[in-house]
Amino acid sequence: MITAGIDVGIENIKVVVLRDGTVIASGTARSGGAGRGKAIEQTWTDTLKAAGISATDITKVVATGQGKGDVPFANDSITEPLADARVALFLYPAARSVVDVGADQIRVVSLDEHGAITEVVLNQKCAAGIGTFLRTVARRLGYTLDEMSRIGGSSDNRVVVNDACCVFAELDAINLLHDGVAWQDIARAIHRAMAVRINSVLSDKVRPAKDTTVLIGGVARNPTLIAALEERSGINFMIPDQPEFAGALGAALDAAA
């Protein structure tokens, strides 16, 4: 049985194709803004080509993500929390919560011992856009997001930026740069501030278990942020190899259910 999942986010489209529970192909591309429909079709075509199959070989296609309604060839769609739960339990059967941090949204899903969703908590408006914000700040500092996310280490220069609002945090970063503060110290301050914002969502009504919480989404590829978040939250996150594809994988798993 071959199924596929498509996760259409604010910034990126992700496609995963499964054959009997095994990933045989995956693909990603920018969402394309006004050209999202065309970008979805192209990503879908490219992923099918990589899998060596045609659309008629697919038993079922399920879409998820904030742009799930823009996938005309999908047979069904599921909410993002359900996709999160599906993939978390598939990859880590002992999971009791899953945290999804993407370009636009932070989401925490709690699970009971039977794998049923018991609670979903979303970020407040001013915590939105962390993934997009990190990319913007990296560009402001003159580096790529990957370069900024891999600075690691620590510094005696413990500069701080606003941890209550991404807009103010960006202004603080620009001012620090103009004051001659090293970009590495600014980047560390940015990551610590964003860890505070994410942790505020983790602490809103729920408190994810220390050793059974899965972290997914594109931001989960950022080792500096992960280190800051683990220090702030006290959680030892379980992180899949390709966390950015988790939503699409969850949708493909739902299609196979």
Query: H helices within the chain, ranges in order?
Result: 36-51, 80-91, 130-141, 145-149, 166-178, 183-202, 223-233, 246-256
Q: How far apart are CA 97 and CA 186, in angstroms?
A: 31
pLDDT at 144 over 80: yes
Domain residues for the domain of 8 are 1-92+242-257
Same domain, 98 and 39: no
- Contact predicate 228/114, CB 8 Å: no
The mean per-residue pLDDT over the stretch 213-230 comes to 93
Same domain, 97 and 221: yes
Tens-place pLDDT, residues 84-127: 999 999 999 999 999 999 877 889 999 999 999 999 988 765 55
Same domain, 42 and 121: no
Tens-place pLDDT, residues 204-221: 767 788 899 999 998 899
Secondary structure element (H or E) that encloses residue 119, with its range: strand 117-122
- The strand pairing partners of 62, in sequence order, are 5, 76
Same domain, 33 and 110: no
Q: How far apart are CA 84 and CA 79, in angstroms?
A: 9
Look at 99 and 164; give whichever has higher pLDDT: 99
pLDDT score, position 105 = 82
Residue 234 — pLDDT band, cuts 50, 70, 90?
very high
pLDDT score, position 200 = 86
Same domain, 216 and 110: yes
What is the tally of structural domains in the chain?
A: 2
Residue 154 — pLDDT band, cuts 50, 70, 90?
low
Same domain, 211 and 249: no
Same domain, 224 and 122: yes
* CATH number assigned to the domain comprising residue 56: 3.30.420.40
Percent of the chain as helix, strand, coil, to the nearest 5: 45, 20, 35
Q: How far apart are CA 92 and CA 86, in angstroms?
A: 10
The mean per-residue pLDDT over the stretch 222-250 comes to 95
Same domain, 11 and 40: yes
Residue with tokens 């600075």: 151
Same domain, 214 and 149: yes
Phi/psi of residue 117, nearest 5 degrees: -75, 125
Same domain, 131 and 62: no
Same domain, 222 and 253: no
Same domain, 222 and 249: no
